[in-house]
Chain A
Amino acid sequence: MTATKFVTLGDAVLDEQFPPVDLALRRGRHVDRDDAEWFGFLRDAEDVLEPFYRRYGAELVYRADGYYYLLPSGDKLTKRQLGVAEMLVGQALTLLYLDPANVEQGGRVTREQVLAHLATVMGTDALIRTLNPKRRKYDERVAQETVRARVADALRRLAALGFVEALAAEEFKLRPALMRFAEPVRASADSSEALSRLVASGEVAFAPAEPGTEVGGGPDGDDAFEGHAANEGGDDPEPTNADATAALDVSEFEDFGFEDVEPGTEVEEPDEAGVLE
C-alpha cells in the first residue's frame, strides 16, 4: 500500500478501519507494525488524517521507531500525564526492550522480570518509597504488596496504551512505542535540553502528576482505578473541605422553606400535642 491510497479525508473516514483507529488514537493508543491493519491504514491515510486531527488541536505523530500516536496540544482533546508508577514501569520496560538478553525470547517479559529489573536499577527501598510516598513508616509486607499491585496496574495501563502487549496474565511483549520513554535521553546524557524541547512540544510535562491526572478536557474513563491506585499508593491529593464548599453552587438547591438558624440558637421543642406554643 502507498500513501496515495486515500486521496481525500472522506475516503479515509469511509474506510472500515477508521472508527476503531480513531477511537484508539484518541484514547492514547500507540499503533505499531504489530497492529498490522491499523498501522497499514495509518500509513495510507496519514496525509489526510494529519490536517484532520490538527483541527482538533492534536498532532498525529509518527516516530522512526515505527509507531503512530496522537498528541493533543490544545484543549479540545483530553490528555493526561502518565502517573509515577506508569513512568517507572515504562522506563524499566524500555530498559528491558534495549537489553539484548531479551532478544532470545523475542521481547517477551514477565511481570516478575519487570519488578526484578526495577528493584535492581532503583534499589528495593527507593522503589518501595516511590510507590508508597505518603507512608513514612510502613509494614514491609504491605508495602511490597502495594508495589506489586501498582506495577501490575501500571502494566495493564501501559498495555492499553500500546506500549506493551499483554500475552497472558503475567506475560507481556515489548513494543517499539516504549522508545518514547527514552526520548529525553536519546540525544545526549544531559536531558535538560531535550526535556525543554519535549515540554515545549507537549510530549512530556515536568513534575509527574498523580496517576491519570488530566491536563485538560473532560474526565478520564478510568477514574475508579485512579482512586484505587491513589489510596494504595497514598500519593493522590485528598480533597479538602474548602474545595468541597467552593465546588458547591448553593443557588442550584431548591428552597424547601427551611430557615437559617444562627449557631447556638435554641430551637423550641414542640409540645406533646405537636403544637408549638
Chain B
Amino acid sequence: MTVGAARDMDRGPVNDRPEDPSRLIENLAGRAISLELGSLDLCFVAALRLRSRTGETTSFSEQQLVDAFRDVCALTQPEATGVARRATAAIQRLRDQRLLSRVDGAGVVRSGAYTLTRLATSIVDFYLEEEALTGESLTLLLRTLHTSLIELREQARASTTARECSDRVVGPLRVTIRDLVDGIERRQRGLDLQQERFQQEIGNLLAADWFDAVARCQDLLEETTTTLRELNAVLLRDAHTLVTLLEDIRELAEERGAPDANEACRRLSEQLERIAAWGLARQHTWSEYYQYVHRFLRDVVRLDPTRALTERLRAELGGKAGRSYSLVVAAQPPLVVPRELTPPRDRPPLERPRTEREKPLQEAVADDRDQALTATVQAVLAGGARTLSSVTEAVVSPLPEAERFSTAGRVAEVAARLAKAESARERAWTRADEGIWIEEWSLTPSAKEG
C-alpha cells in the first residue's frame, strides 16, 4: 500500500492565508513534495497512534518505537527476520517524511523521545476513524459554533482598541472557529465516502443476492436519505444565522480598526456557504440515485426475481433465440414550416401607350438642297469655271467632309443640266478634292443656263 507523505524537510508548512493557488502549487512542486508509505509503515504509524491514545503517552522512547514495530511485524509479517534493523530503517523513513518528530532536543547526549506529527495522525485517522457527518454531530458542531460566535460578538463589542479586538476576536476566529468549521467539512467528506461505499454495497448486494437483497438495499437507501435530509434541514436552518453572526463580528471589528478581521470573516462565511451548498448538492444527487435504485428494485428485481429475463434477453441478443424482430415506433416527420414568401408583384396588363405615337406636324422652313446646289453650281459656272473638276472643287470644298463625296455626283448631274458637257475619247481622271477623283469634262455654258 502506498500513500503520500510529505518529504519536504527544510521548509515550514504551507501558509493558510489566501494565496494564489497556482503559486501554491508551484511552491509545492518546487519543494518536490512526495510520499512513499508502504503497508507496514502505515500499520506502524497506526500502532503508534493507537498507543498514544490508550496509553496517554505524549512521546515514545526509541525502545518503545522498536517494540511497537516488532509487534506490528509479528502481526503482519510473522516470518520476518532482522526486525531490529528493519525498525531502524522504518523509523528513519518516518523521520525523513516528517511523520515522526524528535521532541526531547537532547541530541547525542541520550536516546531521543519521539512523537507523531500532525501529518501522520491525519493519515492514520483517515483509516482509523469513521468521521462521517451525522445529524447529531452536525447539530452539536453547529451549536458549538453558534455559541462561540455569540461569545466572540460580545468580545468584539467589549473591546475598545484595535489590538484588543484583534487578540480577542480575530485570533479565535482564525483558530477555534476555523477548526470547528474544518471539522464539519472533514465529516462531510467522510459522509461522501460513506455514500460511495453504500452505492458499491447496494450494487454488490444485488449482484450477489438479487431478490433477497431488496430489503437490505432499501434499508441502506433509507438510512442515507434520512441522514441527508436531517443534515440539509439543520444546514438550511443554521447556516444563515451563523453567517449573520459573522457579519456582525466583522462590522464591530472594522469599527474598532482591527486588521485582518474582514478577511478572516469572509473566509469563514465562504466556508459556511460551501457547507450549506454541499448539503443541497448531495441531497439532489442522492435523490436521483434513490429514485433510480427504487425503480430498479420495483421494476426489475421484484418483477424478475430469478433473473430469467436477463438470461432470455442475453440469448436473444446472442442470436440463440428464434426469429428476429424489430420494434415499431411512431415516426411522423416534423411539421413542414414553409419559408416566408414575398408575394410577386402583379404584372401590369399589356396596353397601348396613352400618348400619341406620331408627333404633331410642325411648321418648318423647307430645306431644298437641290435648288441650293443648282444655284451654287450656276454661280460657279458664271464665275468662269469651265471644267467639271473646277466646278466640283468649288462646290464641295466648303461642305463638311462627310457630304463631299455624295455631293460630287450631284454636282456633275447639275453641271450637265446647266451647261454643255464634253469629254475626250479617253477621259482622264482628275482630282476634284481631297479623296475625290472624277473623269474630267469641259463645260460650256449653254442656252439652258440661266
Contact = CB atoms under 8 A, between A and B. Distances in A.
B310 A99 contact: yes
B336 to A, nearest CB: 10
B328 A204 contact: yes
B207 interface: yes
B365 interface: no
Interface string A198-221: 110011111111001011011111
Interface in A132-191: 161, 176, 179-182, 184-186, 189-191
Interface stretch (A77-85, A244-252, A269-277): A77-85
A45 interface: no
A126 interface: yes
B333 A221 contact: yes
B295 A185 contact: no
A38 interface: no
A100 B309 CA distance: 13
B324 interface: yes
A192 B299 CA distance: 24
Nearest to B297: A103
Given A98-B309, A161-B329, A185 B296 contact: no
| Contact-size category for B | 35 or more
B300 A98 contact: yes
B322 A101 contact: no
Interface string B302-336: 00100111101111111101111111111111110
A182 B206 contact: no
Contact of A95 (B296, B314, B324, B325): B314
Contacts of A199: 325
B210 interface: yes
Given A100-B207, A121-B314, A176-B295, A206 B325 contact: yes
B449 interface: no
Contacts of B296: 100, 103, 107
A198 B326 CA distance: 10
Interface string A108-123: 0000000000100111
| Contact-size category for A | 35 or more
Contacts of B200: 104
B318 A122 contact: yes
A15 interface: no
Contact of B299 (A91, A94, A179): A179
B326 A25 contact: no
Contacts of A33: 291, 295
Given A82-B327, A95-B310, A107 B292 contact: yes
A277 B372 CA distance: 56
B375 to A, nearest CB: 53
A214 B314 CA distance: 28
A58 interface: yes
Interface in B175-208: 199-200, 202-203, 206-207
B313 A78 contact: no
A51 interface: no
Contacts of B210: 100
A21 to B, nearest CB: 13
28 contacts: A25-B330, A80-B329, A81-B327, A82-B328, A87-B326, A88-B317, A91-B317, A98-B310, A98-B313, A100-B206, A103-B199, A103-B202, A103-B203, A121-B318, A122-B317, A123-B318, A161-B329, A176-B295, A179-B299, A191-B312, A191-B322, A195-B322, A202-B328, A203-B328, A206-B326, A214-B331, A217-B332, A221-B331
Closest 10 CB pairs of A and B: A100-B206, A208-B326, A28-B329, A104-B203, A26-B332, A185-B312, A80-B331, A81-B326, A91-B317, A28-B330
Interface of B: 199-200, 202-203, 206-207, 210, 288-289, 291-293, 295-296, 299-300, 304, 307-310, 312-319, 321-335
Interface of A: 23, 25-28, 33, 58, 64-66, 69-72, 77-84, 87-88, 90-92, 94-95, 97-104, 106-107, 118, 121-123, 126, 161, 176, 179-182, 184-186, 189-192, 195, 198-199, 202-209, 212, 214-215, 217-221
Given A27-B334, A95-B310, 12 more contacts: A80-B331, A100-B203, A100-B296, A104-B202, A123-B318, A176-B299, A195-B323, A202-B328, A206-B323, A206-B325, A207-B324, A219-B333
